[in-house]
Chain A
Amino acid sequence: MPTTTTCNGVRRRDFLKAGVIGGTGLTLANYLKFASAGEVASKATANAAIFINLTGGPTHMDTFDLKPEAKAEFRGEFNPIDTAVPGIQISEHLPKLAQNMHLFTILRGVTHTLGAHELGTEYVNAGNRPLPSLEYPGYGAIVTKELGGNGNIPPNVAIPASRQKTGYLGVQYAPLNTGATPKPGEMFSVRGLKLAGGLTIDAVEKRQALLSDLDKTFRGVEETNQLVKGLDKFGQQAHAMITSPKSREAFDVSKESPNFQKLFGETSFDQSCLLAARLVEAGTRFVTIELGGWDTHNDNWTQLKKKSPPLDSGLSGLLQGLQLKGLLETTTVFVTGEFGRTPKINTTRNGRDHYPRCMFMLMAGGGITNGQVVGKSNADATLPDSKGFSPDDVAASLFHTLGINHQKEYHTDTGRPIMIVRDGHVIPELFA
């Protein structure tokens, strides 16, 4: 379960709360514009993605978008340091990532307008501005649906749990939540995957055949009932996983070589990153990891000194690990919070508050040109320098790396046509 609550103390969907925002409907003109734009030539090389959700909204100005020249009431306590890529600087509390700057890309000046945790989280987890009448599926559900499973390995895994919804795609595309995070060097497994009761595969297959013969009561309503459809899918997936030693071993981080394990620290985030790399190698399509606690209204810098090191070591380990396994080209890594934080310091609390107008995101692998900064914020990091990027653009780019056409149209179970990403454009600079 997610362990960090945000300042509201509430994690809820607030489904109808989005009412005031509304959304521009997709007009035919819009659609034609998208269709003819040609966007960016496909350079898709990825077949899996790892999504790291920094919940709470990490401050951009004290991590990946420092403004040492800004006025004192904006600047903050931290200093920038040079990275492996000349000309790029990040926070002094992210030294390992600085050394590995050539392995990832920073997006600066990403911008939106939803400054509430739930809505912002929903936005950056789906790449569509939340609507009151429709729940959008998160990236994991789309990737699972588009790329399909890979043998008996669960296609969508969350360590330990995910905030992504399955929306109109239905619960069948929901992630497998590991429920726990691995500990360094210890065996790790998802409970229930080991054949129970000393059963043989034969016995299980026989039993399973009986089950599928008898489980017919709801036959015919699958198309209108997502619960029935989802349970069917889970039944097949569970059976495949239980009977496959490969799927059990995919979770067992202790089976990694010591050399590989050495790349990661001991925090649960580090170990989750290690597991993510292992799962992707085994064939998982989408892994979600959550690292929370970024809602730094109070004592921003004291908190960041604690929050930065795990991110620094876990993410560095992940990027190096993927490279070592030769998986960085085929795996897209995407790191984001729900928004940035106010560039102007809240002096009464020595903190920074919610600020969606300017934020950072990180991307790596999957055919993206690593080792660059894409986009730019203005002098005091209050806005993008020019037009900036929307979360929709970044989502479109994520799908692009995976060879998924983000303009593809689905139909909801009430027959409503809806594009995967309604308003986004692939960011060409990411692939330059």
Chain B
Amino acid sequence: MSRSIRPWLLTAAAATLSFGSATFAADEIIAPANLRFASKDASETPNFQQHVVPLLSRLGCNGRACHGSFQGQGGFRLSLFGYDFKLDHEGLAKGDKDKNKEPRVLIEEPEESLALLKATLETPHRGGKRMDADSWQYNIFRNWIKAGAKSVDEDSPKFVKLEVTPSEIQFGKDGQETQIKAVAVWSDGSREDVTPLCRFNSNDDLIAAIDANGLVKSGTSGDTHIVVNYDAGVVPIPVIRPVSDKSGKKYPKVATPTKVDELVVQKLSKLGIVPSDVCDDHEFLRRASLDIAGTLPSPQEIIAFQSDTDPNKRAKKVDELLERPGYVAWWTTKLCDFTGNNANNLNINNGYKVDRTQEWYDWIYHRVAKNEPYDKLIEGIVTAVSRKPGESYTEYCERMTALYGPKKEGTFAESGGLTYFWARRNFLKPEERAIGFAYTFMGIRIQCAQCHKHPFDQWTQDDFNQFTGFFKGTAYGTNPRDRKEELALKEKLGISAKLPNGELQKELSKKVTAGEVIPIPELYTTRPEAPKANARDKNKDKDNGKKSAREAPPPSAKLLGAETVVLSEHDDVRVPLMNWLRDSKNPYFAKAFVNRVWSNYFNVGIVQPVDDMSLANAPSNAALLNYLAEGFIASNFDMKWLHREICNSAAYQRSWKPNETNKLDQKNFSHAIPRRLPAEVALDALKQATLSDAEISGWLADNKNHMTAIPGSVNTRGGGAGNGAGFALTVFGRSTRESNCDCDRSMEASLLQTVYMQNDDQVFGMLNDNKGWIRSLSPPPAKRAAPPARNGGEATKARRNFETLLTNAERDLKKARKADKESEIKEIEQRIVELKDKIKQTKEAAESKTEEPAPREVVGLSPEEIIKAAYLRSLSRLPTDAEMETSKKFLTQSEDRLSGARDLLWALINTKEFIVNH
């Protein structure tokens, strides 16, 4: 079976095929061009799109460094990576004397064409020799020129798909080879063997090397894809060579309790990779809690789970975790990443003061909390408008003002769509929107196609340009139609139209707090107008209105890889866009989300990088991705279905401990991959590990003070975080939400992260916090007679003050001695002693910025109990015997048990086991 690569085009082209099939038998395949054009006497006329342009690609003529450069090369320009047939044809066939460009073809004397002379090095060519005279390639160019060097026209057949055989390659030993065959299918029903016209690449030439003619050679063991390119076709073919002798029939029996496991093991068995065992309960609980709810399990929970004998306890735990506020906060954070909730981009002029990032966060939170179907959630973003049907501008402003007024009636989350998505500064131009939309909702990168054919995907510049049509009629601000109403509102408020933005914002904020109705920017769309025949045309073709209409077609836009939509038929052109997106046949929408959710649980996506679902970047397990995407759609886009389906699989619950066959596997889900906790989760886990037992249950019950509750982007100075956590979040790689890339979040480890964990004041603050575990181990401190200065700054100030007094006193003492005043001398001497003592005290206070708790004994807990508690709250397990011994020895050797306990907890949060999810 072959893989079809343009499912959308395929359905669109089905009708055409039935027309054209009269001339081409379904199974008749035209012989490859290298055979048909081998002879000098070949008389066939090649086609520009089918033969000439692919050959230009194959010979490297339209590469970036050659004629594909935007400046051209040597006065000859081709479109980069092909597919701009008009430009390519003009580049070859037309010259321009003014610009010193000669035509590259000479129809009267084809052999004298500059293109042929240069490519065969008959005349000097900076790009070197590209082909031999009288080679089949040469004959194609020559015959094409001879027949008039024609370009493509409306009647030329359209590309339907590229069929590549074999659809999968399995190698077993060195020296094995397989020849790839590629057949192009055209809209006239013709099928041509285009193998010699394709470009071939290997995604890993160590595992499978491929030569220019499509011959694949076996390399080392592993799995990769080779990629075949022809026209808009990009077809990846998996190549596998088992890593052990346990593949195929020799593969051991591995339990596959779920469909997910069946599909994962199917791939593993081909590779000869045996998965690791299912992990222990404590390992599962810690992993699932961190992955699903972004928090550590509580100590009581760990004990209860260990002793629970219910065979379904893991599935029940998954259900329970999915009901926690932590799950809602974590997935709201992730969705804020994908949708780009960034304060800098939401700094809207002419607005009132409101935290739009918080409203954005709350809008998503509200929906994740009630598990709104994913497609419906996204619809609330894609087709968002500010006004309710039939609402006037003033009515809209009244309704919104009520949200912010003294009564705070209702919330933004419940008031309509997520309009701010369209108000972002980096999401204003139609091109930016097309790129951002494709990234957020489809997980694909189409930016390459903005300027040229996408080299690794099907998208052409034309596809890109036509897609931007959907993003033109939507704007955030004041609809020019409503200017008058807006002015009237301002007048009523006594606000001058000329007020500068900063002051305007202040004024408006004041008014809205006072309960007055203020003008509020809105997201609105305008229906694209069908073109009107202009007056001159009307006069000219009085009786032929139809002709004029045909000359100016109605505005249209084309869905990516799918049909064209007449925009003027829709009040809101984003509605057909959304319908297409959520359609069960859409090849990206469900998969993009499935893949992102999967990567949350497995460290890598089924497609990796997660947001690069281009054709050349094939999934490591296509059957698995398809199954989950289809199931997600069938569940009516139930996000919790997806989480359950993944988390209840044995694949998710595997141990991190590798075996001989799977220790090098990073992408086939044969064992858990130890991975650093994401920024917010890492810092929340740190906080939770240091909280007192009494505080932990409250901590898990809501998201108060959690890092996952921070709405917008943060900066290193703590901006946006509100609790001074900006630095830590930045160091641990919280998403910057700046560009259309999941890589805005960093999951890499770094030295600075370790420095933070080992020695940052914030971490010491947590360890020594009044509500912390360490303090809870001892009775409340007795009130001291003279509390030390609160912090270094104040202590220093006090010390300086004392020092001045001391200088004064010493001066007084000299005076008194001179005057020989006995009583005064004594009094001053006493004062000096006191001042010196005070200076010493303040000096010490200043030096110990974060006060160590005074050494005290722990009451009521044995060393074993302290050690167990420390392990449970940090590593979510009990210590091993050896760990217990080591820790006990440490505690007994400590000055006192309290500081011993603190050092123990410090050591545990600094183990790799703490910061790594495993």
A16: chain B residues at CB < 8 Å are 203, 456, 609, 612, 614, 616-617
Residue with the greatest number of chain A CB neighbours at <10 A, chosen from B207, B455, B751, B752? B751
Which residues between 175 and 206 of chain B lie within 8 Å of chain A, taking CB atoms?
A: 199, 201-206
Q: CA A414 – CA B675 in complex, angstroms?
A: 19
Closest to B206 in A: A416
B887: chain A residues at CB < 8 Å are 210, 214
B743: chain A residues at CB < 8 Å are 11-13
Decide yes or no whether B653 CB sits under 8 A from chain A. no
B741: chain A residues at CB < 8 Å are 10-12
The minimal Cβ–Cβ distance linking A283 to chain B, given in whole angstroms, is 16
Known: A214-B883, A234-B749. A192 touches B910 (CB 8 A): no
Contact B907 A195 (CB under 8 A): no
Known: A225-B674, A227-B674. A174 touches B748 (CB 8 A): yes
The minimal Cβ–Cβ distance linking A336 to chain B, given in whole angstroms, is 19
Known: A115-B64, A198-B850, A234-B753. A193 touches B911 (CB 8 A): no
Q: Which single member of B674, B748, B848, B907 contacts A210 (CB below 8 Å)?
A: B907
Decide yes or no whether A20 CB sits under 8 A from chain B. yes
Decide yes or no whether B731 CB sits under 8 A from chain A. yes
A-side interface size class: 35 or more
The minimal Cβ–Cβ distance linking B876 to chain A, given in whole angstroms, is 12
Known: A210-B886, A234-B751. A356 touches B65 (CB 8 A): yes
Which residues between 223 and 243 of chain A lie within 8 Å of chain B, taking CB atoms?
A: 224-225, 227-228, 230-232, 234-235, 237-239, 241-242
Interface string of B607-630 (1 = CB under 8 A from A): 001001010110000000000000
Decide yes or no whether B768 CB sits under 8 A from chain A. yes
Which residues between 221 and 244 of chain B lie within 8 Å of chain A, taking CB atoms?
A: 222, 224, 227
Contact B916 A227 (CB under 8 A): yes
Contact B911 A217 (CB under 8 A): yes
Contact B903 A210 (CB under 8 A): yes
Known: A238-B751, A239-B758, A414-B222. A20 touches B456 (CB 8 A): yes
Contact A227 B676 (CB under 8 A): yes
Decide yes or no whether A428 CB sits under 8 A from chain B. no
Interface string of B583-616 (1 = CB under 8 A from A): 0000000000000000000000000010010101
Q: Which single member of A11, A15, A194, A344 contacts B739 (CB below 8 Å)?
A: A11
Known: A12-B741, A197-B850. A207 touches B759 (CB 8 A): no
Closest to A414 in B: B664
Closest to B616 in A: A19
Decide yes or no whether B50 CB sits under 8 A from chain A. no
B716: chain A residues at CB < 8 Å are 1, 179-180
Interface string of B870-911 (1 = CB under 8 A from A): 000000000000010011001000000000000110111011
Contact A5 B455 (CB under 8 A): no
Contact B913 A217 (CB under 8 A): yes
A356: chain B residues at CB < 8 Å are 65
Q: CA A280 – CA B614 in complex, angstroms?
A: 44
Interface string of A144-181 (1 = CB under 8 A from B): 00000000001000000000000000010011110110
Q: CA A1 – CA B63 in complex, angstroms?
A: 33
A422: chain B residues at CB < 8 Å are none
Known: A13-B743, A132-B204, A224-B663. A215 touches B65 (CB 8 A): no
B371: chain A residues at CB < 8 Å are none
B916: chain A residues at CB < 8 Å are 218, 227-228, 231
Q: CA A114 – CA B768 in complex, angstroms?
A: 54
Decide yes or no whether B912 CB sits under 8 A from chain A. yes
Which residues between 185 and 210 of chain A lie within 8 Å of chain B, taking CB atoms?
A: 190-198, 203, 206-207, 210
Q: Which single member of B71, B224, B674, B904 contacts A133 (CB below 8 Å)?
A: B224
The minimal Cβ–Cβ distance linking B896 to chain A, given in whole angstroms, is 13
Q: Which single member of B70, B609, B904 contacts A15 (CB below 8 Å)?
A: B609
The minimal Cβ–Cβ distance linking A247 to chain B, given in whole angstroms, is 11
B851: chain A residues at CB < 8 Å are 198
The minimal Cβ–Cβ distance linking A177 to chain B, given in whole angstroms, is 6
Contact A176 B752 (CB under 8 A): yes
Contact B750 A195 (CB under 8 A): no
Contact A215 B751 (CB under 8 A): no
Interface string of A116-149 (1 = CB under 8 A from B): 0000000000000000110000000000000000
Decide yes or no whether B209 CB sits under 8 A from chain A. yes
Contact A228 B912 (CB under 8 A): yes
Q: CA A242 – CA B227 in complex, angstroms?
A: 50
Decide yes or no whether A65 CB sits under 8 A from chain B. no
B-side interface size class: 35 or more
Decide yes or no whether B447 CB sits under 8 A from chain A. yes
Contact A213 B886 (CB under 8 A): yes
A154: chain B residues at CB < 8 Å are 751
Contact A214 B911 (CB under 8 A): yes
Closest to A17 in B: B456
Contact A179 B912 (CB under 8 A): no
Q: CA A414 – CA B207 in complex, angstroms?
A: 11
Q: Which single member of A1, A19, A175, A214 contacts B886 (CB below 8 Å)?
A: A214
Interface string of A87-111 (1 = CB under 8 A from B): 0000000000000000000000000
B222: chain A residues at CB < 8 Å are 414
Decide yes or no whether B847 CB sits under 8 A from chain A. yes
Q: CA A344 – CA B73 in complex, angstroms?
A: 11
Q: CA A13 – CA B850 in complex, angstroms?
A: 42
B63: chain A residues at CB < 8 Å are 113
A12: chain B residues at CB < 8 Å are 739, 741, 743
Q: Which single member of B71, B224, B748, B755 contacts A171 (CB below 8 Å)?
A: B748
Q: CA A228 – CA B913 in complex, angstroms?
A: 9
Decide yes or no whether B8 CB sits under 8 A from chain A. no
Which residues between 321 and 355 of chain A lie within 8 Å of chain B, taking CB atoms?
A: 342, 344, 353
Which residues between 345 and 401 of chain A lie within 8 Å of chain B, taking CB atoms?
A: 353, 356-357
Decide yes or no whether B764 CB sits under 8 A from chain A. yes
The minimal Cβ–Cβ distance linking A298 to chain B, given in whole angstroms, is 15
Contact A198 B847 (CB under 8 A): yes
Contact A22 B749 (CB under 8 A): no
Decide yes or no whether A256 CB sits under 8 A from chain B. no
B849: chain A residues at CB < 8 Å are 196-198
Contact A207 B676 (CB under 8 A): no
Contact A10 B201 (CB under 8 A): no
| A residues at B contact (CB < 8 Å) | 1, 5, 8-17, 19-20, 22-23, 25, 113-115, 132-133, 154, 171, 174-177, 179-180, 190-198, 203, 206-207, 210-211, 213-215, 217-218, 221, 224-225, 227-228, 230-232, 234-235, 237-239, 241-242, 342, 344, 353, 356-357, 413-416
A to B CB contacts below 8 Å, 21 in the list: A13-B743, A15-B609, A16-B614, A115-B69, A171-B749, A171-B750, A176-B750, A176-B751, A177-B750, A179-B716, A179-B727, A190-B755, A196-B763, A198-B850, A218-B912, A231-B749, A231-B915, A234-B750, A239-B758, A242-B758, A357-B65
Q: A16-B614, A174-B748, A214-B911 are in contact. List 19 more A-B contacts (CB 8 A).
A: A11-B743, A13-B609, A16-B612, A16-B616, A113-B63, A113-B65, A133-B204, A133-B224, A176-B751, A176-B752, A192-B756, A196-B759, A197-B761, A210-B887, A210-B903, A211-B911, A237-B754, A353-B71, A415-B220
Closest 4 pairs (CB-CB, A-B)? A198-B848, A133-B204, A113-B65, A234-B754
